Structure 1
Amino acid sequence: MYAHSPASPALLVIAHGSRDPRHAATVHALTRRVRALRPELRVETAFLDFDGPAVDQAVASLYLAGVREVVALPLLLTRAFHAKSDVPAVLAAAASHLPGLSVRTADVLGPSPLLLANLERRLWEAGLTPADRATTGVVLAAAGSSDPEAIAVIAETAREWRHTGWCAVRHAFASAVLPRTEDAVRALRAQGVRRIAVAPYVIAPGRLPDRIAAGAAAAGADVVAAVLGPSPELARLLLRRFDAAALTPARVPALTV
């Protein structure tokens, strides 16, 4: 058990939620890893949809336990619709009837060098080695978004990753926008890339990661990595985002009621 003081900020990790039970299981495994890294920190989990507890329920539970400062961390890789609209709205509603509660929203997770390290961990686990960089093309396969800012971040992440020594890196999306994973794999093959790996840029299993894997298989990718999952890199990144919000409140204004 953590030895959290009610006067200290608590971390509320807000995940999207999914009908696929693997999603919630992965999120809970990740928050357990975060707690193990920082036992004195109270870490709770909430979901926007499908799974429980809902955000308002989690916030109310923290409040009843005496917590008056909460750092809400969207478990999202880009600032798309959920980060810009859904999360602020649900937090404002949850805090509106809880006097004295201060809620700060941490930055989304991406971009970050820790996420690239996480992607590479999954590629090594799938059978590649660092020596394969120069002869391997990689597809960075994200969930997809209609938000131009989010799309641009994914494209820039792929460009940055290319500079670490991979033969080529292309981005792709499982929904909303093109190219699809299979399109990117075939484009790399047309370039003459002999070994192609697909790296899902998603946190937990579910419908869209399954679509990424299916596209990779259909196009004949040589290696398909697992999702980011409850990795050490991701747990450290959550704590970095928490610290930035908790220790430098001027950067992330508080919703104080």
Structure 2
Amino acid sequence: MRPRPAPRTAPAPVLLVIAHGSRDPRHAATVAELCARVRWLRPGLRVEAAFLDFNAPRVPGVLAGLAAEGAREVVALPLLLTRAFHAKADIPAVLREATARHPGLTVRRAGVLGPSPLLTAALERRLYEAGLDPADRASTGVVLASAGSTDPEASAVIAAITREWRHTGWCAVRPAFASASLPRTEDAVRALRAEGVRRVAVAPYVIAPGRLPDRIAAGAREAGADVLAGVLGPSPELARLLLQRYDDAARLRAEPALTA
């Protein structure tokens, strides 16, 4: 009696990383590096990047290409640290419009990246790479500098991260914002100095270089911060977090699928 052939397993959903896009070429280059690291961590997983604005390829074009190739399922992962307007409105609208054009293509939305202990680990990696000695942690105040948002949910997340990070050994942790909210980076640095904090470090809570991260860096330099970390970029922790969010969406089906 011949053995029955093993059942065919469905291919893993494609991971579609959706970034906002920027006129700054460093933004798209960073997204490409991050996707390359994810592919290295998960050989065989198809990882594509798409942008909402400024850069190519755009989300509708990538989904059209995947549908034409016969892809059946996609996990769309917003390359965003908080749930603000882009996560709540822009991306869902783009995905609904695009998938309506392609019968048979199912798109599942993964959650945004933050908050996560992996992001905190990436922030600390960047601080130490910028020259901060781990032994100086207890005498260092950190400014957690994010892009900023008018969405109160996003601001509340930054406040919560700041409170939690403060209890991991830093002498102080303060939030700052490059836009939309106050204080600015330079004001937060000066406030820590006024309180007698011996050493002040600025940790940009942003993924890729661009106009707002440059504003954070300029504020840190203007106020005389001792350490200015780099953006999160294609850090190992961020790549692992992308795969974690992908696995959650692909396995648990936490959010309803978008189908034509």
Q: TM-score, normalised by structure 2?
A: 0.95
Alignment equivalent of 2:164, drawn from 160, 164, 167: 160
What is the rounded CA distance, in whole Å, between the counterparts of 1:234 and 1:99 in structure 2? 33
Counterpart of 1:254?
257
Alignment equivalent of 2:49, drawn from 45, 50, 53: 45
Alignment equivalent of 1:228, drawn from 211, 225, 232: 232
The aligned amino acid for 1:205 is P
Counterpart of 2:207?
203
The aligned amino acid for 2:258 is L
What is the rounded CA distance, in whole Å, between the counterparts of 1:49 and 1:151 in structure 2? 23
Question: Which structure 2 residues correspond to residues 84-95 of structure 1 after superposition, within 5 A?
Answer: 84-95=88-99
Counterpart of 2:142?
138
SS at match of 2:144: strand
- The superposition leaves residues 102-140 of structure 1 with CA deviations (integer Å, 9 ceiling, x where unpaired) of 111000000000000000000000111221110000000
Alignment equivalent of 2:218, drawn from 198, 207, 214: 214
How far 1:7 sits from its partner (Å)? 3.5
- The superposition leaves residues 164-213 of structure 1 with CA deviations (integer Å, 9 ceiling, x where unpaired) of 10010000000011110011101101110010000000000000000000
Alignment equivalent of 1:22, drawn from 26, 29, 41: 26
Alignment equivalent of 1:104, drawn from 92, 105, 108: 108
What is the rounded CA distance, in whole Å, between the counterparts of 2:180 and 2:63 in structure 1? 32
What is the rounded CA distance, in whole Å, between the counterparts of 1:157 and 1:46 in structure 2? 28
What is the rounded CA distance, in whole Å, between the counterparts of 1:7 and 1:29 in structure 2? 24
Counterpart of 2:71?
67
The aligned amino acid for 1:144 is G
Counterpart of 2:196?
192
Q: Which has the larger radius of gyration?
A: 2
5+ long unaligned stretches in structure 2? 1-8
What is the rounded CA distance, in whole Å, between the counterparts of 2:35 and 2:258 in structure 1? 24
What is the rounded CA distance, in whole Å, between the counterparts of 2:53 and 2:25 in structure 1? 13
Counterpart of 1:148?
152
SS at match of 1:53: coil
Q: TM-score, normalised by structure 1?
A: 0.97
Alignment equivalent of 2:13, drawn from 1, 5, 9: 9
- The superposition leaves residues 45-96 of structure 1 with CA deviations (integer Å, 9 ceiling, x where unpaired) of 0000000000000111111121110000000000000000000000001101
Relative distance call for 1:20 and 1:163 in structure 2 (3 A) is: same
The aligned amino acid for 1:175 is S
| Identity among equivalent pairs (%) | 75
How far 1:6 sits from its partner (Å)? 7.4
Residues 8 and 67 in structure 1, CA contact (< 8 A), matched pair in contact too: no
5+ long unaligned stretches in structure 1? none
State the aligned residue count.
Answer: 252
What is the rounded CA distance, in whole Å, between the counterparts of 2:210 and 2:89 in structure 1? 23
Q: What is the root-mean-square deviation of aligned Cα atoms in Å? A: 0.9
